[in-house]
Amino acid sequence: MSDVEALACTLDEAARDVRAIPKLTDTAELDVATAYAVQRRVIERRLARHERPAGVKMGFTSKAKMVQMGVHDVIWGLLTDAMLVESHVEVDRLIHPRIEPEIAYLIGRPVRSPADVDAAVAGVAVGFEVLDSRYLDFSFTLPDVIADNASAAGYGVGAWHEPRDVSNVGMLMEIDGRVVQTGSSAAILGDPMRSLRAAARLSEQAGIVLEPGQVVLAGAATAAVPLPKGVHVRVTASGLGSVEVTT
Ligand code: OOG
Ligand code: MG
């Protein structure tokens, strides 16, 4: 078994067994390119279990997230249809889940490179991401978190709206009616559209086409918060409405 295969297997099994593991760089040498190869293998294992590609999620596109996690490069992870949360998250299936507010784009035409982006946006929505690092204490280096599919565990999106300027919309996250995070979409690289362009650059590099119907999560506007069992979370973005989830 190659290193990439073995590392992907370790991460995939940690997620399936709901068991935190030491970060890979404790025992393996891992550069960014190899980490992305591991990420790809983790997703291929899920696709072999009949999950389908659903888009991508951008990571560390806001200062709040960089500071929270100590990582300073924009990365991505790959979404599958099984990660889509309709209205409820079973947190018992997760190790130490967190939730964060996101802006989501709906892809309407294939995106192969940044040149495709402007004509490709079919909709925009408020969203949330459920994160669950497979690593002990939610602690990692840049290659670790890339290999672990950027901590992706689940995502939800509110109603899609016509494409519009969302460069500075107020965002709010509430748990059981209590405000736990506030921010602005401007925290996402100054404008979440920049994150979409970054996604298109990564697509070009990886040879991955973002297909119509797929979603791009532009990245959290604020730090993430722990997601306990038995709560109701609402994320609101000014002009885009709300999206809700229970645990
Ligand atoms: C990594 C994922 C970062 C974002 O929106 O910045 C991310 C993590 O925080 O564990 O999803
Ligand atoms: Mg995120």
Q: What burial letters (b/e) apply to 143-154, b meaning 16+ CB within 10 Å?
A: bbbbbbbbbbbb
Which two tokens mark 179?
């405000």
133: Cβ below 6 Å to ligand 1? yes
Q: Which of 129, 137, 216 to mutate to test the pocket of ligand 1 (most atoms within 8 A of CB)?
A: 129
Neighbours of 37 (CB within 10 A): 20
Ligand nearest to the CA of 70: 1
1 pLDDT above the threshold of 80:
no
CATH of the domain at 208: 3.90.850.10
Mean pLDDT of 74-100: 98
One-character DSSP codes across 6-56: HHHHHHHHHHHHT--B--GGGTS---HHHHHHHHHHHHHHHHHTT--EEEE
Contact 27, 143 (CB under 8 A): no
pLDDT digits (tens, 9 = 90+) for 205-228: 999 999 999 999 999 999 999 999
Rounded to 5 degrees, φ, ψ at 133 are -60, 135
* Domain count along the chain: 1
Q: What is residue 151's predicted lDDT score, i.e. its pLDDT?
A: 98
Mean pLDDT of 137-151: 98
Ligand 1 centroid to 115 CA: how many Å?
26
Domain containing 75: what range? 3-246
- Atom number of ligand 1 nearest to Cα 131: 10
Ligand 2 centroid to 1 CA: how many Å?
32
State the pLDDT confidence band at 72, using cuts at 50, 70 and 90. confident
69: Cβ below 6 Å to ligand 1? yes
The pTM of this model reads: 0.97
